[in-house]
Amino acid sequence: MRRISVRQTGLAALAVLGAWAFPAAAQTPVKGGTLAGIVQPEPPILMLALNQQGPTIYVAGKIYQSLLTYEFDLKPRPVLAKSWTMSPDGLAYTFDLQENVKWHDGKPFTAGDVVFSVDVFLRKMHPRARVTIDRYIASVTALSPVKVEFKLKEPFGPFLSLFEVSTLPMVPKHVYDGTDFATNPANQTPIGTGPFKFKEWRKGSHIHLVRNEEYWKPGMPYLDELYFRVIPDAASRGVAFERGDVQVLRGGDVDNVDIRRLRGISGVETTTKGWEMYSPLSFMMMNMRKPPFDNLKVRQAAMHALDKSFIQRTIFFGLAKVANGPIASTTLFHDASIKPYAFDVALAKKLAAESGVDLSKTPVKILAFPYGAQWDRLTEYVKQALEQVGFKVSIEPTDAGGWAKRVGDWDFDISFNFTYQYGDPALGVARHYLSSNIVKGSPFANNQGYSNPKVDDLLRQAASAVKAEDRAKLYAEAQRILVEEVANGYLVELEFPTLWRSNVKNLVQTAIGLNESFEDVWIAK
Amino acid sequence: MSFVRFLAGRLVKAVIVVLAIAALNFVLVRLAPGDPASVLAGEAGATDPKFVDELRARFGLDKPVWEQLLIYLGQVVRLDLGFSYRNQVPVIALIGERLPATLLLMTSGFLFSLVAGVGLGVLAARARFLERGRFLDSVVMTIALVFYATPLFWLALMLVILFSVQLNWLPAFGMESVGANLTGVSRAVDIARHLVLPTLALGFFFMAVYVRLTRAAMLEVMNQDYVRTALAKGLSPREVLRKHVLRNALLPIVTFAGVQLGQMAGGAVLVETVFAWPGVGRLMFDALLQRDYQLLLGVFLITSGTVVVFNLLTDIVYLFVDPRIRVEGRAR
Amino acid sequence: MTSFWRRFSRNAGAVIGLAVLAVVILVALFASLMFSTSPWQMVGPPLLLPFEEQGFALGTDMLGRDIAAGLAHGARVSLLVGVVSTGCAVVIGVAFGTLAGYFGGAVEHALMSVTEFFQTIPQLAMAVVLVAIFTPTLESIVIAIALVSWPPVARLVRAEVLSLREREFVEAAIVLGRPTRAIIFGEILPNAISPVIVAASLIVATAILTEAALSFLGLGDRNMMSWGFMVGAARTMLREAPWLTVLPGLAILVTVLAVNLVGEGLNDALNPRLKERGD
């Protein structure tokens, strides 16, 4: 079902398709030009080590860099690290850093900055990564100004997947050391090593970045300026692209239905690649702490009641793929042999009857997921579908603040969520199922209250195994159990299409897509 | 002397009202489920409950609510609106950045509705008074009725579709052409072009109100004895219209202008949403959804404060427009 | 009554308005009979154009829900919100206005200060905050709209009561020692009610618009199909499927227009003094 509309992905594709896609065969990048995109919603702050919302990464990914980035197949590729080695026991990793890298204020970037960033700043401030750093990283040491060593407390399979720019962004030691990180005035004028420098942020209007003339890759970046415009209304964002006010649309900028129309415009190209690192997967959380969802058959009935391909086709307008389990097909260790729950109303009714639960006496409420029109449509659809098999359902509206609070406090019957997988199940998936993660306060933990010691074991072993085959086996087993026990109701893998005007080149080339630094993006005249 | 006393009294009252608003809003926003820490942690994908607690402590949200209220009111008295949790900058700076855009939008919306509304209202009343052009009167009143009934946000969407997308005459959103680096006159022209549609969207409803008000007030005055007398004395209808009718019909118009600001502030939220206008209305809405308490309260305080000041101004204008209103014992 | 109707019907617009409103009310009353399935039910292929397929006269939305059914059920919500919230606003406003106007002095000062206070807060902005805080349900929307709409009623009633209180028949009742309650409910309110009715018709219109605006901002009741919700839900598809936005928008426009026209008719009929100015 996935539309293959990728026209320029990496050099290999270029070589093959070059003649057809670009009549001018081997095009050499030209310097200059301005690229405008949309930042939506407007980020609160651009200091990437303090805030990692999607829009923040999109903008700040041009300013800040990490040691690595990732190919479409999630293999690491060098950024600030030139090369790296792992000790045979998997307990130590050594990175050789690029030379002659400068911060935007002219000071040199060294191994000391890496140590400070990971061991001090991020260990304290990063809402997601600090848990991993604390659990696995014993020490970070500068062996020389361009060599740094990470020592682990125990082997950690996905260690090399940690260096995505929003997970471990490098921050300048000379600016932050000894200050209050949260209130440091430099947070308003971010300083990184990336190809673009922060110029101006007109709140509510736009963010302006300009070329870093002293970027460490000679000749780059090609573009002079980047603008990110703030446009709160989805319909207006579609109009902006249509009129050419912006040349790039990021997935989620416009409603999926608009995508269909916009990509029909001549001179517009599109791809759904560039999200492999995140591979957002949506699921229905059913609170297992109370009736009726404490009953496995009721959960299975609910899953059989939902027509996943209707959701894929009509609610997400085809820009999604039916999910068969907790691990997305675009990421590592996905088990393709698992079958999703079939849409079967009769079976759903049968399971509901077998469960012994009187559904008419245990009404359930769907806590709406307040992130846009398609989630509203999904909520409305699920209400209808569940009612058809005998559930009594009502919708509780809420806004972002209320949603995060109530899911974090386990105060819901049903709700939806979609979460990033961060390239490895140990980073993005296990958090929803480990019983040790049944903690209040975060909407991204094990909020539904799933607990199975067997699964706990499997996930732990898989995280610390170093060999890929071992990890694959353990995750396959875990996936099977999670699906069978409906640890969450897996719905669809979301596809976020990127749209751009075809004179913009090299936009989506890695697994982090538009969050890349744009160092080699250029505009054909 | 009495004028000064009147003014002082109103000022004291205004300050009390503003403080009461601050307190009421403070209590209100705390009743909402969720707080800025949970929102921030939620957006960040934090899986660490300790992180949320740390945020709460940093924002001072771990103190008892009454203590937070006292701290907040203490700040307000010192004209300090506090710190935005989310944006990590002082609230006053955030509002200051956005206020000019909103003021521009509201001023132009206000002027447009006032001028067009009063103009059309006079036209309609005049047509009726001079006993010709009943048709004109009907047309004007129909227009007014329709705009009076049109949902503002829907009108905004329709304007975008018609004038920006179909006809491509005017920019669809934003306040200026980003990246064009215009200066001086060309920049002013650019901003003016961006201003047209938001102004129309915001102003049409209020224009309709002014049309109806003006016409009704003028027709009412036209029936007064002194107007009839003036006509009987042989003054030309035009002269009567100018000298007596318009002047005396001003009062309800001024009254409405006084309350219009508050109503327009609500409309601004909608208009700023549709047109991506970088103003305070949208800032308020976002702050509300993100539970950025201090920012939300700050916006409310500034808006209500402006309305209070505006009411004060209206009161003063009253004194000049209608000398019949005595300063003391004036009951509104 | 006949003279009321005669005066009312002299205003052609008012009669048309009344006719339109009657149709809307009938549709609202019989929505479930005309469309037996829930308006949320996906009954057809998505995004059918109006008149494209029999059975879906006004087309379907992005989930294949019948627009006509949505509009019919939406009429119910819009009218319900409009009437109930206006009812609440009138009750609050009449109570405040009557007490202030009748008793005067400190009571009046206190009550009118509260009224003024509520008028100072921007209306729609306040409604948005209230609904967001108490989570958007039909009740919270009604309450929020009522809370921001009553002050004009209070001021109007107070002014009426102030002037009625000076009238002979009221003074006579006071001298005769009739209980205050009887005077207020028996003498004053019945005579103050006609301007209130006219004002109420305007509040109904505004309330319908406010509900639509709240829904547009995503603050509607998610269990009720309303016109504002339909516009809000479809606005991301404005270019793709404009009828999804245009039809409910027109429904709001026509209904509010009709209410306003009726309000004007009522004004003419209930305030015959003003009538003579030649409308």
- Mark whether B33 and B86 lie in a shared domain: yes
Tell me which chain C residue has its CA closest to the CA of residue A367.
C222
**Residue B202 and residue B174 in one domain:** yes
Q: How close C135 gets to chain B, by Cα (Å)?
A: 8
Band (A22; pLDDT cuts 50, 70, 90): very low
Does the beta carbon of B296 lie under 8 angstroms from any beta carbon of chain A? no
One domain for residues B20 and B151: no
pLDDT at site C33 = 77
Same domain, residue pair B159 and B15: no
Helix boundaries (H) for A22-177: 54-60, 111-115, 123-125, 129-136, 173-176
Residue C245: CA atoms inside 13 Å, Cβ hemisphere, count?
21
Give the residue numbers spanning the domain of A390: 281-494
The single residue listed with the structure tokens 């109303």 is A345
Asked if A399 lies within 8 A of C241 by C-beta distance, the reply is no
Q: Which of C88, C279, C97 is nearest to C193 (CA)?
A: C97
| More confidently predicted of B293 and A498 | A498
Could you tell me if residue A241 is inside a domain?
A: no
Residues A127-134 have a mean pLDDT of 85
Residue among B157, B269, B273 whose CB faces C245 most closely: B157
Residue of B nearest to A183 (CA): B88
For the stretch A434-463, pLDDT in tens is 998 888 877 888 999 999 999 999 999 999
| Model pLDDT, residue A19 | 39
The answer to the question of residue A202 being in a domain is no
A257: nearest CB among C218, C219, C237 = C237
The Cβ of residue A88 has, within 10 Å, a number of other Cβ atoms equal to 7
DSSP string, B224-255: SHHHHHHHHTT--HHHHIIIIIHHHHHHHHHH
Element (H, E) at A320: strand A320-322
Q: How many structural domains are present in chain B?
A: 2
Residue to test with chain C: of A380, A388, A405, most C Cβ within 10 A:
A380
Q: What is the pLDDT of residues A204-232, one digit of tens each?
A: 889 999 999 999 998 899 999 999 998 88
Chains that touch C (3 or more CB pairs under 8 A): A, B
Q: Is the ipTM of this complex over 0.85?
A: no
Contact B41/A187, CB-based, under 8 Å? no
Q: Are residues B65 and B126 in the same domain?
A: no
Cα separation, B25 vs B40, in Å, equals 22
Strand order across the A34-38 sheet: A34-38, A225-229, A206-211, A196-202
The nearest CA of chain C is from the CA of B221 a distance in Å of 9
Q: Do A285 and A162 fall within a single domain?
A: no
pLDDT of residue B321: 67
In a domain, A128, yes or no: yes
Is A399 exposed, middle or buried (CB count within 10 Å of its CB: 0-12, 13-18, 19+)? buried
In angstroms, the separation between the Cα of residue B174 and the nearest Cα of chain A is 7
Chain C interface, mutation test: which of B13, B24, B153, most C Cβ atoms within 10 Å? B153
Domain ranges of chain C: 7-30+64-278
Cα separations (Å) of C189 from A158, A355, C193, C198, C202?
77, 61, 6, 15, 20
**Among residues of chain A, what percentage have pLDDT more than 70?**
95
Residue pair A220/A214 in contact by the 8 Å Cβ criterion: no
Q: What CATH number is given to the structural domain containing A457?
A: 3.10.105.10
Whether the pLDDT of residue B323 is over 60: the answer is no
Q: For residue C10, what is the enclosing H or E element?
A: helix C2-10
pLDDT, tens digit, 9 for 90 and up, residues B261-307: 777 887 888 898 888 888 888 888 888 877 788 888 888 888 878 87
pLDDT of residue C239: 73
Can you tell me the distance from the alpha carbon of C127 to that of C143, in angstroms, rounded to the nearest whole number?
Answer: 9
Are B254 and B314 contained in the same domain? Answer: yes
Write out the H or E segment, with its range, that includes residue A393: strand A393-396
Residue A326 pLDDT more than 60? yes
Does residue B295 lie within any of the structural domains? no
Handedness of CA C11, C13, C14, C16 (dihedral sign): positive
Within this chain, do residues A455 and A330 fall inside the same structural domain, yes or no? yes
Size of interface B-C (CB pairs under 8 A): 134
- This model's pTM is above 0.90: no
Is residue B1 packed enough to be buried (19+ CB in 10 Å), middle (13-18) or exposed (0-12)?
Answer: exposed
**Token pair listed for A104:** 């935007």
More reliable by pLDDT, A267 or C277? A267
pLDDT greater at residue B325 or residue B149: B149
pLDDT averaged over chain A?
88
Mean pLDDT of C103-110: 86
Query: Does residue C17 have a pLDDT over 50?
Result: yes
Please name the residue that has the structure tokens 């990021």. A250
More confident residue, A63 or C114: A63
pLDDT of residue C63: 74
Q: List chains adjacent to chain B, taking adjacency as at least 3 C-beta pairs closer than 8 Å.
A: A, C
Contact check, Cβ <8 Å, B270/C130: no
A261/A249 Cα distance (integer angstroms): 13
What secondary structure does DSSP assign to B106-156, as a single string?
HHHHHHHHHHHHHHHHHHHHHHHHTT--HHHHHHHHHHHHHHHHS-HHHHH
Cα separation, A366 vs A450, in Å, equals 19
- Mean pLDDT within C224-234: 83
Q: Using an 8 Å Cβ cutoff, are C135 and A396 in contact?
A: yes
Which residues from chain C sit within 8 angstroms of residue A381, using beta carbons?
42, 63
**Do B163 and B247 have their domain in common?**
yes
Residue A501 has phi, psi (to 5 degrees) of -75, 140
- pLDDT score of B16 more than 90: no
CATH of the domain at A92: 3.90.76.10
Type of residue numbered A195: P
| Domain region containing B45 | 2-91
Query: Which domain-ending residue is among A189, A204, A223?
Result: A189
Side-chain-facing half-sphere of C33: CA atoms under 13 Å: 5
Binary contact (B259, C122; C-beta < 8 A): no
- Which amino acid is located at B317 in the chain? V
CA distance B130 to chain C (A): 13
In a domain, A272, yes or no: no
Q: Is there a domain that residue B331 lies in? A: no
B42 touches chain C (CB under 8 A): no
Number of folded domains that form chain A: 2
Residue after which a domain boundary falls, among B33, B64, B91: B91
Rounded CA separation A92/B321 (Å) = 83
CATH assignment of the domain containing B205: 1.10.3720.10
Same domain for A182 and A328: no
Residues B285/B274, Cβ–Cβ less than 8 Å: no
Answer whether CATH 3.40.605.10 is correct for domain C7-30+64-278: no
